[in-house]
Amino acid sequence: NAGVMQNPRHLVRRRGQEARLRCSPMKGHSHVYWYRQLPEEGLKFMVYLQKENIIDESGMPKERFSAEFPKEGPSILRIQQVVRGDSAAYFCASSPTTSGSAGELFFGEGSRLTVL
Amino acid sequence: ILNVEQSPQSLHVQEGDSTNFTCSFPSSNFYALHWYRWETAKSPEALFVMTLNGDEKKKGRISATLNTKEGYSYLYIKGSQPEDSATYLCASINTNAGKSTFGDGTTLTVKP
């Protein structure tokens, strides 16, 4: 049973380019969460999605960042016109349970974005 | 407390020592608290899911307690081993909020 799969594991972009990070949740999981870990900091919530719906995007920067979780295919976190401050590790997690449940999250190994 | 706070930030102990660390979280609208273990170059893995005031969970040499009225949880490791070296994260979920809010973690280093 494959775990949460994230790709690419490492991504290098120049300032102004776009970054796309993909996350395939565990089989049977319909809830996806994206977290960001800036250097020397902890995990910060970005967005919570269910299939075709954004449930909570209170942690997403207002500009340049977007996320989707289509009916088919992986969840995608998209960062347009990247800046050096976007350099971070981006973690995806999934859960099989409905919003508000006590179930734990299952994490991917993260995608490390470096902006030159 | 508005955020999830963990202390200490880091801890160095000798093999065989017992240790504990603290997670403080907002007590209002509490729904659940999770503890995760995060080893270097791996992904966080859940240790405990705790929901009830007074909950006490145990897994081998690791145990955790929960006080939802005052908003804190303790994680205990008895007889620390080098393989216990990791960052221990706690995460709080408020009622039906869905998202987990993480503390910054306690990084434990156990010296042989």
A5-41 residue pLDDT tens? 999 999 999 999 999 999 999 988 889 999 999 988 8
pLDDT by residue (tens digit) across B31-87?
899 999 999 889 999 999 999 999 999 999 999 999 999 999 999 999 999 999 999
Q: Does B100 touch chain A (CB under 8 A)?
A: yes
Nearest to B89 by CA among B73, B103, B68, B109: B103
CA B104, A4, B51: angle at the middle one, nearest 5? Answer: 50
Tell me, yes or no, if B2 comes closer than 8 A to chain A by beta carbon: no
B72 to chain A, any CB pair closer than 8 A? The answer is: no
Q: Do A104 and B93 lie within an 8 Å CB cutoff? A: no
Q: Which residue of A has its CA nearest to B94?
A: A100
User: What average pLDDT score do residues A78-103 get?
Assistant: 86
Give tens-digit pLDDT for A31-74.
Answer: 999 999 998 888 999 999 998 899 999 999 999 999 999 999 99
Give the chain A residue nearest B51 (alpha carbons): A102
Rounded to an integer, what is the distance from CA A62 to the centroid of its chain? 16
- Please identify which residue in the block is written with the tokens 């102004």: A16
Verify whether the Cβ–Cβ distance B42 to A109 is below 8 Å.
yes
